[in-house]
Amino acid sequence: MSRVVEVPAQLDDRTFDQFAAGFGSWPPEEKLLIDARAAQWASPYGLIGMLTAGQALAEAKRDKPLFTVPQSEEVKRYWARAGFFHHAADLFELHGKVPRPPTTGPSDVLLDVTPVRATEDVHEVVGKISEGATRILHGELGLELKATLRFTMALSEACQNIVEHAGTSGWVAVQAYNFRRRLGRRVVVIAVSDGGVGFRRSLESSHAKRFGERWGDGTALEAALIQGVSRFRDPGRGQGLAFIKRFLDQWKGKISIRSGTARLTIVPPWDEDVPLSEHLPYFPGAQVQIIIPAQEAESR
Amino acid sequence: MIQTIRIGRLLRETVTLPYPCLVTRPTGAAVRNRIEAALAHSDCHTAWLDFSDVELLDLSCADEVVAKLLLAEPVTPAPFLVLRGLREEQHEAIEHVLTHHRLAITATLYGAEAPCLLGWASADARATFDALIARDGATPAELAVALGWPEGRAREALQALVAYRILCSDGVRYRPLRTA
């Protein structure tokens, strides 16, 4: 028996739950076919979410899933340029013709899909992003020059969460694109995902007791993002997400973190997302998305 | 006597990547260990930790390098510490972690000469710091007159800054640390 997991035509943070629901109970017992034939677009969050599923299945010692590539040549080319197929080939049995990856990525991809396994990878990510970040954030989005460095700091902290807490490796991608329907402006998006232990299990031994029966994926996310708690006894820990949140407040940005069956969002004025969603379909690890919008003309 | 410790150089000796970015906790801890080793062999009154050739400092490294250095048991006699050459976002990251730990330090921004008090301090301590910088030192009585405070209040604020190792005192006068 095999199970077909359909990739939504537009795979992003909003449709991700539909993708996660396709796996049923985790880890699924059946052989999986991930069907991306009808895919028309995937955000960085969607691309690395699919890789996270493949990685988590491999770590759960499941058969290598089949993956049917998008039918659209344009979509395939874009996914190839973003580095998706390069990594997907290790995690899935790819079906369908995959274009050769170009030597350089598209200009709006600040950081193509990149694995984060160790501290050295965080250094590499930070080094690679610096030049492109100035061009996009300052040149295109109209943020002050100093925002570029704060953006890189936020990226560094988000990637370190994988190394420090996930108990496994993960993925990061950074891209700029037009957010026409939801905002009508360009945005830059950082997506970070891992298939590790997730926030609830990471914090459970040190913090679950004081929450009693309320303890769950949602309360764990609130404890980490709002209260700045950490599993480490070191009082200096837990400040990274608080700093990201402060940076995003300044630039009217958005952060959402999905872990297990919950998703917590700091909702900016331009968005109508739900602050806390619980009882979502389970997905392993943690998925973080940070969106920084172009500044409105009057605030430039 | 003043010793200058160039953080960018320690970073290059610690990691082999070409980017002068002080990021990740293990890197920060390794750089802190090198600073502590340098301070352990120092007979200087003051050590300047110079960040001017560090391009990026993330929050984790601000905590590992600066906050943990201040929290550690100091070598005896420990040099006074001053941060120099901080860019605005580095200043912001260090301020964030020091405030979290209720610590403070003297610092100068990149390209600036006037020192500032970075981190957690009461309003009285900040006013005292600024007044002392303007006068390059004062007795509690002089400070009390300058700020229009009772002498006891001035003395208390001065002693708080001495406890933070932000001022030095010969028992009579209180002086800010040398930053230039």
- Cβ-contact B107, B116 below 8 angstroms: yes
Quote the pLDDT of residue B96: 93
Give Rg (Cα) of chain A.
18
Number of C-beta neighbours around residue B33 at 10 A: 13
Best CA proximity match to A177, nearest among A145, A228, A122, A140: A140
Structure confidence at residue A300 as a pLDDT band (50, 70, 90): very low
What is the complex's ipTM, to 2 decimals? Answer: 0.84
Question: Can you say how many angstroms the Cα of residue B111 is from the centroid of all Cα atoms in its chain?
Answer: 17
Q: What angle do CA A174, A180, A186 make, to 5 degrees?
A: 40
Residue A181 has pLDDT above 90, yes or no: no
Quote the pLDDT of residue A15: 96
Residue B131 has pLDDT above 90, yes or no: yes
The mean per-residue pLDDT over the stretch B91-98 comes to 94
* β-strand partners of B156: none
* β-strand partners of B48: B4, B82
Structure confidence at residue B94 as a pLDDT band (50, 70, 90): very high
> In B, which residues are within 8 Å of A239 by CB distance?
59, 63, 96-97, 100
Q: Do A153 and B58 touch (CB under 8 A)?
A: yes
CA distance B93 to chain A (A): 8
Number of C-beta neighbours around residue A20 at 10 A: 21
The pairing of beta strand A262-266 with beta strand A254-260: antiparallel
The mean per-residue pLDDT over the stretch A214-232 comes to 90
The mean per-residue pLDDT over the stretch B117-138 comes to 94
Residue A69 has pLDDT above 70, yes or no: yes
What are residue B80's phi and psi, to 5 degrees?
-70, 150
Q: What is the pLDDT of residues A237-281, one digit of tens each?
A: 778 888 888 889 888 999 999 999 999 999 999 898 999 999 999
Quote the pLDDT of residue B66: 97
DSSP class of B138: B
Q: Distances from the Cα of A119 to the Cαs of A7, A122, A141, A149, A291, in angstroms?
A: 32, 5, 30, 19, 24
How far is residue A188's CA from residue A132's CA, in Å, rounded to a whole number? 11
* β-strand partners of A114: A172
- Between A85 and A236, whose confidence is greater? A85
B60 and chain A in contact, CB less than 8 A: yes
Task: With H, G, I as helix, E, B as strand and everything else as coil, classify residue B86.
Answer: strand
Quote the pLDDT of residue B24: 93
How far is residue B133's CA from residue A210's CA, in Å, rounded to a whole number? 47
Quote the pLDDT of residue A218: 96
Structure confidence at residue A12 as a pLDDT band (50, 70, 90): very high
Number of C-beta neighbours around residue B34 at 10 A: 17
Quote the pLDDT of residue A247: 85
The mean per-residue pLDDT over the stretch A128-136 comes to 78
Residue A298 has pLDDT above 50, yes or no: no
How far is residue A80's CA from residue A82's CA, in Å, rounded to a whole number? 5
Q: What is the pLDDT of residues A14-60, one digit of tens each?
A: 999 999 999 999 999 999 999 999 999 999 999 999 999 999 999 99
> In A, which residues are within 8 Å of B59 by CB distance?
153, 157, 239-240, 243
Structure confidence at residue A96 as a pLDDT band (50, 70, 90): very high
B136 and chain A in contact, CB less than 8 A: no
User: What percent of chain B has pLDDT above 90?
Assistant: 78
Q: What is the pLDDT of residues B48-89, one digit of tens each?
A: 999 999 999 999 999 999 999 999 877 677 899 999 999 999
Best CA proximity match to A241, nearest among A260, A259, A255: A255
User: What percent of chain A has pLDDT above 90?
Assistant: 58
> In A, which residues are within 8 Å of B101 by CB distance?
235-236
User: Which residues lie below 8 Å from residue A212, measured CB to CB, with a gap of 6+?
Assistant: none
* Residue B94 host element (H or E): helix B88-101
The mean per-residue pLDDT over the stretch A214-235 comes to 88
Give Rg (Cα) of chain B.
16
Quote the pLDDT of residue A104: 62
Locate A262 and state its tokens.
């919950």
The pairing of beta strand A66-68 with beta strand A31-35: parallel
Quote the pLDDT of residue A297: 58
Quote the pLDDT of residue A299: 52
- DSSP tally for chain B: helices H, then strands E: 8, 9
Q: Do B24 and A236 touch (CB under 8 A)?
A: no
How far is residue A6's CA from residue A139's CA, in Å, rounded to a whole number? 38
Q: Distances from the Cα of B143 to the Cαs of B123, B168, B175, in angstroms?
A: 15, 15, 11
